[in-house]
Amino acid sequence: MSYENILVHTENGIGTITINRPKKLNALNKVTIQELHNAFTTLNNDPSTKVIIITGSGEKAFVAGADISEFANFSVEQGAELARNGQEILFDYVANLSTPVIAAVNGFALGGGLELAMAAHFRIASHTAKMGLPEVSLGVIPGYGGTQRLPQLIGKGKAMELIMTAGMMDAQEALACGLVNHVTAPEELLDLAKKIASKIMRNSSVAIAHAIKAVNDNYTDGVNGYETEITQFGVCFGTEDFKEGTTAFLEKRKANFPGK
């Protein structure tokens, strides 16, 4: 599939999506959001893709936010629809994918950019990264899950301060508060993402998908995550991966998971 604003590359079981509007600091316009939806769907449905990495092109930005030029004249209804549609087709969609998604934050991750990174299952960053939710400086609030995911990741007080001040965190601050898991040099960022991906790929992709669901249910209103864990734990016992994993352990060999 060919895209206007993103690049998709698959190699050795890793799908890398690069948002490619560097002149606009990779801002998320409508076309880009739809293309990201399509690319995530294609990679998630491809059984040979075991991990997805999302990053931005150029040295300056991961994503500098939703494209402000597209919504500056929106009405109340259009504003709500923008947030609803975006959450549905991209942000919640990514968070709930069964394939692990790593955000490699290579520069500014602001507004929708940080929201996209937070929708990924975890984040790593280059030491040039700067992260924030500056929406209140535009007279609006984060609309792609930022008011929910930032407090989950860094705690309510810190999230309130970052949102209210429209401030930016550098990579070290983000590391210290758990917003990102690792910080590295810009030229080593993708290699680090791939190194982590290759560790993930040694394990059962089926079990990982169940683990993602169980962890996510901890944060889903009205759902008892412990119950989900019990159910998903049980389901694993019926999978070929479970048979292979336990047999390989008992036979003192490396597991070769069929991914079923």
**Residue selected from 40, 62, 91, 108 as contacting ligand COA according to rule CB under 6 A:** 108
Please name the helix (run of DSSP H) or strand (run of DSSP E) that holds residue 85, with its range, or none.
helix 76-86
Annotated catalytic residue within 135, 188, 240, 244: 135
**Which residue from 209, 206, 210, 227 is spatially nearest to 218, judged by alpha carbons?**
227
Stretch that binds ligand COA, among 21-29, 35-43, 147-155, 223-231 (CB under 6 A): 21-29
Stretch that binds ligand COA, among 132-140, 182-190, 201-209, 216-224 (CB under 6 A): 132-140
Closest contact distance (angstroms) between CB of 34 and ligand COA is 17
Q: Are 257 and 205 in contact (CB under 8 A)?
A: yes
68 binds ligand COA (CB under 6 A): yes
- For residue 178, the tally of other CB atoms under 10 A from its CB is 13
Closest contact distance (angstroms) between CB of 219 and ligand COA is 23
Annotated catalytic residue within 81, 115, 240, 244: 115
Closest contact distance (angstroms) between CB of 90 and ligand COA is 14
3-state SS assignment for residue 241: helix
* Angle between helices 146-154 and 112-119 in degrees, nearest 10: 60
By CB under 6 A, how many residues form the interface with ligand COA? 16
Helix, strand counts (H, E) of the chain: 12, 10
Q: Are 229 and 210 in contact (CB under 8 A)?
A: no
Q: What is the Cα–Cα distance from 3 to 17, expressed in whole angstroms?
A: 11
24 binds ligand COA (CB under 6 A): yes
246 binds ligand COA (CB under 6 A): no
64 binds ligand COA (CB under 6 A): yes
129 binds ligand COA (CB under 6 A): no
Dihedral of alpha carbons 19, 21, 24, 29, sign: negative
**Residue selected from 35, 67, 115, 241 as contacting ligand COA according to rule CB under 6 A:** 67
31 binds ligand COA (CB under 6 A): no
Instruction: Please say which residue, 56 or 111, places its beta carbon nearer to ligand COA.
Output: 111
Stretch that binds ligand COA, among 38-46, 96-104, 131-139, 179-187 (CB under 6 A): 131-139
**Residue selected from 25, 159, 171, 208 as contacting ligand COA according to rule CB under 6 A:** 25
27 binds ligand COA (CB under 6 A): yes
Label residues 115-151 b or e (16+ Cβ within 10 Å = b). bbbbbbbbbbbbebbbbbbbbeeeebebbbbbbbbbb
Q: Cα separations (Å) of 139 from 38, 93, 134, 136?
A: 31, 26, 9, 5
Tell me if residue 135 is catalytic. yes
115 binds ligand COA (CB under 6 A): no
Residues annotated as part of the active site: 115, 135
Chain residues binding ligand COA by CB under 6 A are 24-25, 27, 64-69, 108, 110-112, 134-135, 138
